[in-house]
Amino acid sequence: MDTYESLLAAVTAKNGKTNEVIDPATGELIGLAPVHGVDELSDLIDKAAAAQPAWAALSDDERRQYMHRAADAIEASAEALAELLSREQGKPLNGPNARFEVGGCVGWLRTAADTPLPVETLVDDGTTYAELHYRPIGVVGAITPWNWPMMIAIWQIAPSIRMGNTVVIKPAETTSLSGLALAAVMNQALPEGVLNTISGPGSVIGDALVRNAKIGKVMFTGSTPTGKKIIEASAGNVTRLTLELGGNDAGIVLPDVDPTAIAEGLFWGAFINTGQTCAALKRLYVHDSVYDAVVDALADFARNVPMGNGLEDQNALGPLQNKKQFEIVDRLVESAKASGARVVLGGNPERDAKGYFYPTTLIADIDPQNDLVIEEQFGPALPIIRYTDLDEAVAQANSLEVGLGASVWSTDIKRAREVASRIQAGTVWINAHGMVDPRVPFGGAKQSGYGMEFGVEGLKAVSQPQVVSG
Ligand code: ADP
């Protein structure tokens, strides 16, 4: 069982090149993350490749037991992990945040361990016999973003190790310690060489990881531009990819809703992790007949959700994780204000403050083509667009190059499902948004990426399918 101090000491750089890790709520230094070089990466991949045959030779049941023991280790150090995550990422301990994320790691790990993937008999008609096996690929390279640095790491690690692969994982630069700490705790239970961490800049270490010939598969969650670079880098070795890229999820509210009843779901759909979530609700289309009531109900709810330092118990929203993201949100809200859109709440950040706090912001009566609508804000500023014609709202929802998630809000489930069938997105939630589940496959449409994570589909994605015939 780790304390915050022992965990930090275990993952802080002792020598060599380092990267300063800053608390985004206070601007204070948390610690120094290691910055590795490409030679170290190459050695590490060799180590992962050397460990892979023995890991794959274990029975499925033995690997599953190791995964449960790794989940037990996370549970034992959950408070220390949550504190480090809160300090480094900014998300509060409470609410759907740091403790929730660490709990999610345990849940995803155990579900990936317990999801059955039996050999499939494809044909057995007396003359032909063919069955489909899911073999390990080898070494999986995992590259994570800074918004959910532990949970997304588990999304990549858990199916990979279950299927007999070993893993080399590279966390994002501004949240390296969280990724390194999670792996350190899991490694208290896993055999040597199965889960390996490397830390350094994406353009150097990430790129070299993708290009290494011993990496059979890359699991990537991050931006669409970086995803495109990874596609190019993967071409040389025909490396398999699962890409979970950016989104700009639309929600469509039908005229039959009860505005007060949906306000809480809309709020957390949009503002979970202070809006820094791939599949968060990022543009809300509301029918004219309920528009004012929905905006008012959402504002009433939003006004009462406290934002502040994540270590303080009452807070449910934190700062933006880094300055770059603060500036993106600030620019987009300013563009909305300049266009004449109505600021219902927020929109008035303290730009000189030490922390990267951007206040909870609701922008109404906004042009559907405004930058805050068509670009991904990835922060706590929701544009709310008025519509009268549902077909037009669906067309606007589908008008962007991305399509990760979407949602439809209605008391008529049949009608909501019909609308969902017309939306171009990997997931359409009804009366909720962003409710991922380890049993249910998740992935993007269009430039939000390809490949699916979670559930049986997620296990297949980190396997080499092999037909045995005859
Ligand atoms: P952001 O712009 O929000 O930082 P990115 O998509 O660039 O998002 O980052 C997600 C992850 O991808 C991080 O771990 C980052 O270090 C890594 N990364 C960045 N550039 C590359 C690259 N060219 N190849 C591989 N990984 C990269």
- 244, 264, 334, 401: the active-site residue: 244
In the structure, which protein residues have their CB atom closer than 6 angstroms to any atom of ligand 1? 143-145, 170, 172-173, 202-203, 206-207, 210, 222-223, 226, 229-230
pLDDT of residue 321: 98
Phi/psi of residue 31, each to 5°?
180, -175
Is 86 a member of any domain?
yes
My answer on whether 170 and 300 are in the same domain is no
Q: Could you say which residues of the chain have pLDDT below 70?
A: none
Asked if residue 385 lies in contact with residue 368, where contact means CB atoms within 8 angstroms, the answer is yes
Distance 391 CA to ligand 1 centre (A): 36
Is 278 in the active site?
yes
Alpha carbon distances (Å) from 440 to 112, 115, 204, 455: 11, 11, 34, 5
**Contact partners, residue 327, CB within 8 Å, separation at least 6:** none
Query: Same domain for 194 and 294?
Result: no
Exposed, middle or buried: residue 126 (CB in 10 Å: 0-12, 13-18, 19+)?
A: exposed
The one catalytic residue in 105, 173, 278, 453 is 278
- Spatial neighbors of 355 by CB under 8 A, at least 6 apart, are 24, 25, 26, 27, 90, 309, 319
Nearest CA to 47 out of 237, 196, 169, 211 is that of 196
Per-residue model confidence (pLDDT) at position 15: 86
Residue 423 lies in a domain: yes
Residue 255 domain-assigned (yes or no): yes
In the reported structure, the alpha carbon of residue 144 is separated from the centroid of ligand 1 by a whole-number distance in angstroms of 8
Residues 347 and 460 in one domain: no
Ligand 1 probe mutation, 143, 277, 322, 448, most atoms within 8 A of CB? 143
137 CA distance to ligand 1 centroid (A)? Answer: 23
Task: Report d(CA 213, CA 35) in Å as an integer.
Answer: 22
Same domain flag for 9 and 149? yes
Q: Do both 110 and 160 map to the same domain?
A: yes
Is 436 part of a structural domain of the chain? no
Ligand 1 atom 24 nearest Cα: 207
Q: Are 233 and 279 within one domain?
A: no
CA nearest ligand 1 atom 7, residue: 226
Residues 226 and 260 in one domain: no
Is 59 in a helix, a strand, or coil?
A: coil
Q: Tokens standing for 65? A: 């037991």
Are 417 and 455 in the same domain? no
User: What are the strands of the beta sheet with 129-136, ordered from one edge?
Assistant: 120-124, 129-136, 463-469
- Do 181 and 234 fall into the same domain? yes
Given this model, what pLDDT does residue 14 score?
87
What pTM was computed for the model? Answer: 0.97
105 catalytic per annotation: no
175 and 26 assigned to the same domain = yes
Token readout for 333 is 């809200």
Burial class (CB in 10 A: 0-12, 13-18, 19+), 340: exposed
Let me know if residue 225 belongs to a domain. yes
Q: How high is the pLDDT of residue 91? A: 98
What is the strand order of the sheet 427-430 is part of?
342-345, 361-364, 381-387, 281-287, 249-253, 405-409, 427-430
How many C-beta atoms lie closer than 10 Å to residue 365's C-beta? 16
Buried b (16+ CB within 10 A) or exposed e, 168-193: bbbbbbbbbbbbbbbbbbbbebbeeb
Question: Given the CA of residue 144, which atom of ligand 1 is nearest to it?
Answer: 14
Output the pLDDT for position 283: 98
Instruction: Give the strand pairing for 463-469 and 402-403.
Output: unpaired
| CA 321 / ligand 1 centre spacing (Å) | 15
Q: How many domains does the chain have?
A: 2
Tell me the two tokens of residue 179. Answer: 């990724």
CA distances from 50 to 73, 142, 238, 353 (A): 25, 18, 21, 49
Q: Which residue has the tokens 């985004």?
A: 24
Whether residue 270 sits in one domain with residue 217: no
Distance from the alpha carbon of residue 173 to the mean position of ligand 1, in angstroms? 9
- The CA distance from 78 to 72, in Å, is 10
User: Which of the listed residues 175, 212, 226, 232 should we mutate to test ligand 1's pocket, taking the one with most ligand atoms within 8 A of CB?
Assistant: 226
Query: Residue 358 is part of a domain; what is its CATH number?
Result: 3.40.309.10
Nearest atom in ligand 1 to the alpha carbon of residue 170 is: 14
Q: Are residues 80 and 183 in the same domain?
A: yes
pLDDT at 130: 98
Dump the DSSP string for 359-403: --EEEES--TTSHHHHS---SSEEEEEEES-HHHHHHHHTSSSEE
d(CA 224, ligand 1 centre) in Å: 10
Residue of the CA atom closest to atom 1 of ligand 1: 223
Q: Compute the 3-state secondary structure of the chain and give helix, strand, coil in percent, each to the nearest 5.
A: 40, 20, 35
> Whose Cα sits closest to atom 13 in ligand 1?
172
Residue range(s) defining the domain that contains residue 94: 4-245+448-469
Helix (H, G, I), strand (E, B) or coil at 97: coil
Torsion-angle region of residue 88: left (phi > 0), alpha (psi -120 to 50) or beta? alpha
Strands 215-221 and 18-22: unpaired
Whichever domain contains 151, its CATH number is 3.40.605.10
Residue 110 has a pLDDT of 98
Cβ neighbours around 466 below 10 Å, total:
10
Quick: pLDDT tens for 241-291: 999 999 999 999 999 999 999 999 999 999 999 999 999 999 999 999 999
